[in-house]
Homo-oligomer: A and B are copies of this chain.
Amino acid sequence: MMLCTMEPRFCETDALGHINNTVVPMWFETARTPIFEVFNPGQDLKKWNMILRKMDVDFIAQIYYGHPVEIRTRIGHIGSSSFTFEHEAWQRDELVAKGSAVMIYFDYVKQCKQEITPALRAELEKQR
């Protein structure tokens, strides 16, 4: 499992007084950083090799400003050229949101998907 902690920003609240729902996908994107690093050590933006295929978020409870949010991320299904992140957002010991994201291992030069190598698969398996 991969952990990261987000401090909600004041500008991430909305007029209802909570964190706006469009913020959660940004936090989940940040939570995927350790895997970006595995696939592209040093994360050179010119060598990027991931593309998001789809994502979903369930909003379970209101998320508040002023309290840190822990994002817990696991790798779910691993296919031949794509795999799934399973994210959970926890605030004050409560599950406030969860979601998944399907990411494709992608060759931006050839504009096509790539096969996940055994070495990369082994790294993904560590985060199940």
Contacts and interface: CB of A to CB of B under 8 A. Distances in A.
Given A11-B20, A11-B29, A48-B16, A43 B56 contact: no
Number of copies: 4
What is the size category of the interface that chain A forms with chain B? 35 or more
Contact of A26 (B7, B9, B43, B56): B9
Given A10-B29, A53-B59, A55-B57, 12 more contacts: A10-B15, A10-B30, A10-B33, A14-B15, A21-B25, A25-B25, A51-B59, A52-B59, A54-B58, A54-B59, A56-B56, A56-B57
Interface of A: 7, 9-11, 13-18, 20-23, 25-26, 29-30, 33, 36, 42-43, 45-46, 48, 51-59, 65-66, 108
